[in-house]
Amino acid sequence: MVKSKLLFFFCYLYIVPSEVIIWFNLAESLPCLQINTPIVVTTWNFIDSTKTAYDVLQRGGCALDAIEQGASVCEEEQCDGTVGYGGSPDENGETTLDALIMDGRTMNVGAVAALRRIKSAISVARHVLEHTMHSILAGELATQFAVEMGFHEETLTTPTSKQLWKKWHNEDNCQPNFWLDVTPDPKKSCGPYTKAPSGYTDKNIQRKIDRFNHDTIGMVAIDKNGNIAAGTSTNGAKYKIPGRVGDSPIPGSGAYADNTVGAATATGDGDVMLRFLPSFLAVEEMRRGASPTEAAQTAVQRIAAFYPNFMGAVVALRKDGQYGAACHGLGDNPFPFVVQDVTLDDYKIIKVNCS
């Protein structure tokens, strides 16, 4: 068998005695499909991260390196105040980090959750992937692991995050927060809280989750060898209950990658979204033949059917470099994501309207 590739179009060429038979890689009625790889797709307007990741791929680097280095840029730049150090303090005023990286070639995952006092969350997740037989490490012991791997321990608190917390705690009387069925009334005062008397219930509290109080950088990438990777990094929801872990470090929720199909990543209300594994669902929908856009729509609609007020988005990338996205709950604001691939001279920002 001889593989023939012309100007990013491909098909397989079988030569047999007396005839030439062309077989098309994808079971579609098109001749040879355009392949937009290498490619990077990133949630939101995180341009610098996208450009860094694509530069890695353009220089022949692997998808895993692209994800790690691209997400690291957002951690350093503190994208939207919701990625990296110095943002989204928890109820105690501490910033903690979640991150995940997944290798679609091996189906291996490395992730950290509620990581304390280490800035490079995505790189610690990469070390979990490459230097342990585990998938997720959490909390203080994830910090211990990071230090053992040579990472520098330092505070993730900044004057900005300290001021955010002081205003929330002292001026806003701890409003809003994430407590239910506790006393004193969490809608009126700060804790410490205890379980409310039997029979008390109030499930009508609406906690607004949007781009600027909980966001994630989610990235998916395909390198020149067709290997696929996905990753996430976030500092979680503002004023979360200490110890809270969102969707970002959960494989299949925050991100998922499979070389045989493609990859997906999600962003938004993680406490709700992780219950539906939207990234896994999007990849499986593509496996069943859905386009990336259709796959992302299915994943978002599955959540909205149960939680019509949730805010979130899913980005899907097929192994041939075709991509799409869907979102919900952003009102009149479209959801932006950034793409850079072999067909483009530079990155482009694409916006999709939400359901």
d(CA 218, CA 296): 14
What is the predicted pLDDT for the residue at 36? 86
Is the pLDDT assigned to residue 133 strictly greater than 90?
A: yes
- The token pair that represents 48 in the structure block: 């610098």
7 vs 24 pLDDT, higher one: 7
Write the pLDDT tens digit of every residue in 152-164: 999 999 999 999 9
Is the pLDDT assigned to residue 14 strictly greater than 50?
A: no
The average pLDDT across 126-132 equals 98
**Structure confidence at residue 257 as a pLDDT band (50, 70, 90):** very high
What is the predicted pLDDT for the residue at 355? 79
- The token pair that represents 87 in the structure block: 């943002």
What is the predicted pLDDT for the residue at 341? 95
| 3 state DSSP class of 323 | strand
What is the predicted pLDDT for the residue at 74? 97
Is the pLDDT assigned to residue 203 strictly greater than 80?
A: no
Instruction: Show which residues are catalytic.
Output: 216
The average pLDDT across 225-241 equals 97
Would you say 112 and 249 are in contact if contact means Cβ atoms under 8 Å apart? yes
Is the pLDDT assigned to residue 136 strictly greater than 50?
A: yes
**Amino acid letter, 123:** S
Q: What percent of the chain is modeled with pLDDT above 90?
A: 83
**Residues belonging to the chain:** 355
What is the predicted pLDDT for the residue at 236? 94
Would you say 236 and 284 are in contact if contact means Cβ atoms under 8 Å apart? no
d(CA 188, CA 2): 71
d(CA 1, CA 86): 55
